[in-house]
Structure formats: structure tokens, C-alpha cells
């Protein structure tokens, strides 16, 4: 009886081993390595840091609040980098800055313009771009704050004027 059990176990092991070997032979070869471009290395690092699923969300419209313009800019930048035309990126971002008044899009364009300017070691121009962006953001913030304070003062005046009339008569 032990001999039959041993032979059956050996046969099952042989069948399982040959099946796994056959499956391994049918497996696809690993994909070729991506070219070592700056965009490829950045994408690889982002996938490693955030995970593949989140990386795809970050590249899409969801991360940027549904801004189709930012998604289009990201794809244009990717195409410019792949085709070796990274010197055209500052003109693209300056064009966007000239056409858009959206603060989120302008911030994105300023950041990427500064990055594109700093690539060939033109750090002074990148610093000037970021300073211009900072000045614009500070001015917008001061303007929003002043409008908020004005609305708050108006609300308080209305509330103070309506409070005595709405107060019930005491017993």
C-alpha cells in the first residue's frame, strides 16, 4: 500500500511540475526597457513613489480639479520632451500665461515655465519667473482678503441694524 501511495504522489508531483514548466514557457517575455529620458525617469520615479494606480489618477484630470487645460499641457509637455523639443516649452507656457486668467492654470504654467528655464542652468531666469508668480499670487490674495473684509463689514452692519428691531419685547 505504501508503494502505491508513493508512486501516486510522485506521479502527481511530476504532472504538477511539468504543468508549471509549460505555463512558464508560455509566459510573455518581459517588456523592453524604457528609454532613459528625463520624462521616462520622472514617470518611473512617480510610479514607484505613488503606486501605478495613483500615478494614472495624478496624470489625469481628477488631480487638477477637472482642468482640461492642465491635462492638455501635461500631454504637450510629454510630447515635447519625447520629441526632443524641450526648448519650445517656455514659449508654450508664456502663451498660456498670456491667454489665461485662471489662477490654478497660471500657477501650473509659472511652475513649469520656471522648471523649463532652469533646465539648461538658467537659474536666474527661473528665479525671476517664480518671483513674478509669487508677486501675482500675493496681489490676488490681498485682493481676495480685502473683498472678504468688505463683505464681512457689510454683513455686520446689516446684522447690527436688524438686531434691535428683531429683538422681542421683554416681560
Q: What is the pLDDT of residues 10-38, one digit of tens each?
A: 777 777 777 676 676 665 555 555 555 55
Q: How confident is the model at residue 62, as a pLDDT?
A: 45
**CA gap 127, 19 in Å, rounded:** 62
Q: Which residues contact 88 (CB under 8 A, 6 or more apart)?
A: 80
Helix-helix angle 38-50:52-59, to 10 degrees: 120
pLDDT, position 55: 47
Q: Tell me the per-residue pLDDT of 59-113, one tens digit each, with 9 for 90 and over.
A: 444 444 447 888 888 988 888 888 888 888 899 999 999 988 888 889 999 999 8
pLDDT 10s digits, 110-129? 999 888 888 767 778 888 88
Q: pTM of this prediction?
A: 0.45
* Start-to-end CA span in the chain (Å): 104
Buried b (16+ CB within 10 A) or exposed e, 71-84: bebbeebeebbeee
Q: Which residues contact 6 (CB under 8 A, 6 or more apart)?
A: none
- C-alpha 124/C-alpha 118 separation (Å) is 8
Amino acid at each position: 500500500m505504501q508503494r502505491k501511495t508513493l508512486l501516486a504522489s510522485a506521479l502527481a508531483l511530476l504532472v504538477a511540475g511539468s504543468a508549471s514548466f509549460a505555463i512558464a514557457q508560455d509566459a510573455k517575455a518581459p517588456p523592453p526597457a524604457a528609454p532613459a529620458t528625463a520624462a521616462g525617469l520622472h514617470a518611473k520615479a512617480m510610479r514607484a513613489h505613488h503606486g501605478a494606480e495613483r500615478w494614472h489618477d495624478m496624470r489625469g484630470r481628477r488631480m487638477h480639479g477637472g482642468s482640461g487645460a492642465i491635462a492638455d499641457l501635461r500631454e504637450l509637455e510629454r510630447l515635447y520632451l519625447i520629441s526632443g523639443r524641450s526648448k519650445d516649452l517656455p514659449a508654450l507656457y508664456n502663451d498660456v500665461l498670456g491667454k489665461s486668467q485662471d489662477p490654478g492654470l497660471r500657477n501650473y504654467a509659472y511652475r513649469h515655465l520656471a522648471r523649463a528655464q532652469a533646465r539648461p542652468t538658467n537659474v536666474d531666469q527661473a528665479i525671476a519667473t517664480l518671483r513674478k508668480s509669487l508677486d501675482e499670487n500675493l496681489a490676488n490674495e490681498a485682493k481676495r482678503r480685502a473683498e472678504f473684509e468688505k463683505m464681512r463689514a457689510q454683513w455686520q452692519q446689516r446684522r447690527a441694524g436688524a438686531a434691535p428691531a428683531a429683538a422681542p419685547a421683554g416681560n
